Amino acid sequence: MPSVKTRAPKRNTYRHGDLRQALLAAGVELARNGGPDAVVLREATRRAGVVPNAAYRHYASRDQLLQAVRSAAMAALAVAIEAELAGLRRGRKPADFARASLRAVGTGYLRFAQAEPGLFRTAFSVPDALQGAPVPEKSGNSGLNPFQLLGAALDRLVDAGVLPPQRRLGAEYLAWSAVHGFAMLVIDGPLRSLSPAQIEVIGQRVLDMVEKGIE
Amino acid sequence: MPSVKTRAPKRNTYRHGDLRQALLAAGVELARNGGPDAVVLREATRRAGVVPNAAYRHYASRDQLLQAVRSAAMAALAVAIEAELAGLRRGRKPADFARASLRAVGTGYLRFAQAEPGLFRTAFSVPDALQGAPVPEKSGNSGLNPFQLLGAALDRLVDAGVLPPQRRLGAEYLAWSAVHGFAMLVIDGPLRSLSPAQIEVIGQRVLDMVEKGIE
DNA sequence: AAATATACTGGACAGTGTCCACATGGAGGT
DNA sequence: ACCTCCATGTGGACACTGTCCAGTATATTT
């Protein structure tokens, strides 16, 4: 056996077929374990069974590849949030439903951060104007990126009369700050050593704080 | 002129004198602009006017040097918080003073993150059990690290009767999450493009949320 | 079928962390 | 005063990285 890390599928055609996609997939896999720094161009080409320079036909630099991986990670986060939202039962009063929506966004966010810390850290590894024109690469199935999903939940709170309209402006910053900060502290901060059960409990308290603090 | 990056002070003695300290200082300077990834061992030795391998007499690896830089960054954060606390006028009622203390911790935290984003990102770049035995390398002049300074402020809130004792447990996680998350979003997240004035305003709203959400 | 554009290969270079063997010279004992 | 020890710094090397430049193979267009 030559080596454990043999990943090249021994392509026989000169062209790869879909190298761009293969590099992105390899990059995502690298980011999954290891975070942003683990996204190394040469390793990605190795896994795609191609010479290092071939990557430059599809990405102008290692950083461009990392950006693509980041977008994919952001989209995965959006999907996780959407999944949490989809699991909501719709029976109750609008106010309760709106509150539950905001909670679901936060819960999905935190679950994803714990389940995929590498991707989560990659998604936020580098500056990004999330405000700007929404690009589909960073969005989930609904076409909304995580920031927009949060905004939609807050809008629902206003519509349901739970959140006074004058408090709506900038409310996503408050909610996002609390949840994002907690996620960071959990995945590689002082709260790293807590058990999943403890994290769940404190996470819910963070969401309580947001709910109380925002209205 | 040979080069702009000439930093070697042309030592003539064989021994450096205090290479360990010089490497740490160079590392901190590198982290100040550029964050954790900019802490590169060879550059640090270059600035200390020494051959790369000399570093290994004082730090077992590049990572050990980075850890030392992190501790220094954490200590600088503690000092910034202490400075904010020291600026508090003491005249008022204990309850007001306790509230102001918590706010000062948060404000110091956010000010430092904005003033020294490189050091801030470095301080939290890598897992660290902040809970464990407090080491002086990460502490400010009071001997307390940032986490402990926050805890002390919360204790004062309890003593002043503002925060019910049963809410005290874990309260630092809530406060820390909100403030840390906001800091992250500001220095390299979606809030990066906001003006300092806007950041100040939203930052105060984050602290409002903490105050309301915690009690 | 010829020409062109596209995708990949090959070889190189500077930069990094780190390993090994070696040189230097200050501290302490005789 | 000398001599030896050994912590500290040097020199050279290796594998790894991102990236540049020049070539080569194949798909597409003419």
Q: Quick one: CATH architecture of A73-214? A: Orthogonal Bundle (1.10)
Q: Which residues of B touch A206 (CB under 8 A)?
A: 173-174, 177-178
Nucleotides of C under 7 A from a protein CB: 6-12, 15-21, 24-26
Query: How long is the CA B46 to C1' D3 vector, in angstroms?
Result: 35
The confidence score (pLDDT) of residue B2 equals 41
Tens-digit pLDDT profile for residues A72-123: 999 999 999 999 999 999 878 999 999 999 999 999 999 999 999 999 999 9
Q: Which residues of B touch A191 (CB under 8 A)?
A: 173
* Number of Cβ atoms within 10 Å of the Cβ of B136: 10
Among chain A residues, CA nearest to B206: A174
Q: In whole angstroms, give the CA distance from residue B120 to residue B105.
A: 15
The confidence score (pLDDT) of residue B215 equals 80
Residue with tokens 């009690």: B215
Which residues fall within 8 angstroms of residue A183, CB to CB, at 6 or more apart?
Answer: A109, A110, A113, A114, A120, B181
Residue A164 φ/ψ, nearest 5 degrees = -60, 135
Is A52's CB less than 7 Å from nucleic acid strand D? yes
Is B57's CB less than 7 Å from nucleic acid strand D? yes
Tens-digit pLDDT profile for residues B8-57: 667 888 888 899 999 999 999 999 999 999 999 999 999 999 999 999 99
- What does the H/E/C string look like for chain B? CCCCCCCCCCCCCCCCCCHHHHHHHHHHHHHHCCCHHHCCHHHHHHHHCCCHHHHHHCCCCHHHHHHHHHHHHHHHHHHHHHHHHHCCCCCCCHHHHHHHHHHHHHHHHHHHHHHCHHHHHHHCCCCCCCCCCCCHHHCCCCCCCHHHHHHHHHHHHHHCCCCCHHHHCCHHHHHHHHHHHHHHHHHHCCCCCCCHHHHHHHHHHHHHHHHHHHC
Tens-digit pLDDT profile for residues B161-211: 999 999 999 999 999 999 999 999 999 887 888 899 999 999 999 999 999
Q: Quick one: CATH architecture of B19-62? A: Orthogonal Bundle (1.10)
Q: Which residues of B touch A202 (CB under 8 A)?
A: 170, 173-174
Query: Domain extents for chain A?
Result: 19-62, 73-214
Tens-digit pLDDT profile for residues B62-113: 999 999 999 999 999 999 999 999 999 987 899 999 999 999 999 999 999 9
In CATH terms, are B19-62 and B73-214 the same topology? no
Smallest CA–CA separation between A8 and chain B, in Å?
Answer: 30
Is B16's CB less than 7 Å from nucleic acid strand D? yes
